Amino acid sequence: MEDLCERTRKLIHKELRSQYLDTVTYTDIRDISRNMHKARSSQLLPLPTDIEETHEAESYIPTNALLYTIKY
């Protein structure tokens, strides 16, 4: 998985255009999409489950990054 930010459908369409494939069904596309989702989610950190984990995770974020995420 090269780019975690690029949309799944966009990656699938890019690959389909680059290769000549005769028989690609909806089920194939759905399975590829699900497998890509599983691969991406396995590379991400789990979400915090309680307030202590949340505060611990916030301590790893640089202070200037927090300024851009606050909406006034």
Kindly tell me if the per-residue pLDDT of 3 is higher than 70: no
**pLDDT per residue as tens digits for the range 52-65:** 988 888 787 766 65
**pLDDT per residue as tens digits for the range 4-28:** 677 888 888 887 888 877 788 889 8
Q: Tell the burial category of 52 from Cβ atoms under 10 Å away from its Cβ (0-12, 13-18, 19+).
A: exposed
3-state helix, strand, coil in the chain (%, to 5): 60, 0, 40
Q: Is the pTM of this model over 0.75?
A: no
